[in-house]
Structure 1
């Protein structure tokens, strides 16, 4: 387990140290981004085991390419892009339908998720969480991935546009359509952090597994 004083380091500081030979510090990267990558894999319809395999591949790919990371960029976006590429490669497809962007986009609608209400957090149940996850998996993949990046992982429009290689207008279109598809089934406000949660019981053994592979490189 990495000492607490190192956990406050930024991703850039960690990368610099890892590149200088302090390989064990990469564990901070793994623990810090497990939740994000897990939600990407699950949102892409992979099961728990396949998602963990994709996460491991992503961390190893990222480790091998750390020197290529541009320090003025967002590391979160960079590693999510690697995860998305691995997801696409596994399914051997990377195609999106072209939408027209002539429809009216209401950017001022109330967010489907609001994590600021503690009372609502308290009543969020495991059963309802499963309902939400199942509902998400029933909507088309291209809309689901935009929803996952924007609403669940908190990326902005520009980041989502870059990751999915679609226009910012289409990001807005897909997000609105995804919300419309889900809204009839999800009428309450839930915390996005609880969707496809990568629980601590998974995090520790998975991190140990990844770091074992990293030390073998």
Structure 2
């Protein structure tokens, strides 16, 4: 299998205007248009990848389990009854594969995904005027958020990922992980509280909106051009 991170359209979004719906794709696949399954794979790669990573599994393992999930889903597509959305159904299959893999690997723990070794915030970009600065900042913030989410208890982490990152409703999340909607909402609330504490440990309140010293020279120059 390839080891590149999955590429997909944003999983929160509905199919683009003019794109076939999940129901239409399923009907075409069952009618023999096997190639249509590619659209389903691309549509839900992002969602399944987040589920696997939130389960605490490494990138390569998640990709293997995504493949197993899609194969199992394709083979069982004729049994899909649409009592839940296709996305929720795929997530349930993915979660089952994650659980089975974790049981088998219980005596051979999966190496943890690479994370920053300390609670030090990422280094500040060296140049405030670099064209790619925003992209760099976004990547750094993403790394911090991934670290903080990974530190949540597994039950809270899964609910947070499904509700906040994948945009599932409380009902869909409850269906996906087989708990009540009340428990979904409770776990989400607790996850947010813990996540806030995690973020504060990385970025003290005093550092938020702080005017970093690296910007001072530029500000001095800008002011002196106008006085």
Scaled by the length of structure 2, what TM-score is found? 0.64
Q: Is the radius of gyration larger for structure 1 or structure 2?
A: 2
Task: Using CA pairs under 8 Å that are at least 6 residues apart, name the structure with larger relative contact order, 1 or 2.
Answer: 1
SS where residue 57 of structure 2 aligns?
A: coil
Gapped regions of structure 1 (runs ≥ 5):
94-120, 188-217
Supply the distance in 2 between the matched residues of 1:91 and 1:30 (Cα, whole angstroms): 23
Alignment pair present for 1:73 and 2:84: yes
Partner of 1:13: 24
Q: How does 1:14-163 map to 2 (within 5 A)?
A: 14-71=25-82, 73-92=84-103, 124-163=137-176
Moved segments of 4+, more than 4 Å? 121-124
Gapped regions of structure 2 (runs ≥ 5):
1-15, 105-133, 201-227
Contact kept, 8 Å, 2:54 with 2:157, in 1: the verdict is: yes
Supply the distance in 1 between the matched residues of 2:175 and 2:22 (Cα, whole angstroms): 20
SS where residue 50 of structure 1 aligns?
A: helix
SS where residue 167 of structure 2 aligns?
A: coil
SS where residue 161 of structure 2 aligns?
A: helix
Alignment pair present for 1:164 and 2:177: yes
Contact kept, 8 Å, 2:69 with 2:90, in 1: the verdict is: yes
Partner of 1:174: 187
Aligned length: 156
Scaled by the length of structure 1, what TM-score is found? 0.67
CA-to-partner distance for each residue in 1:46-77, whole Å, 9 max, x for gaps?
A: 11101100100000000000001114531111
Moved more, 170-179 or 7-16: 7-16
Partner of 2:113: none
Partner of 2:196: 183
CA-to-partner distance for each residue in 1:16-50, whole Å, 9 max, x for gaps?
A: 11111111111000000000000101111111101
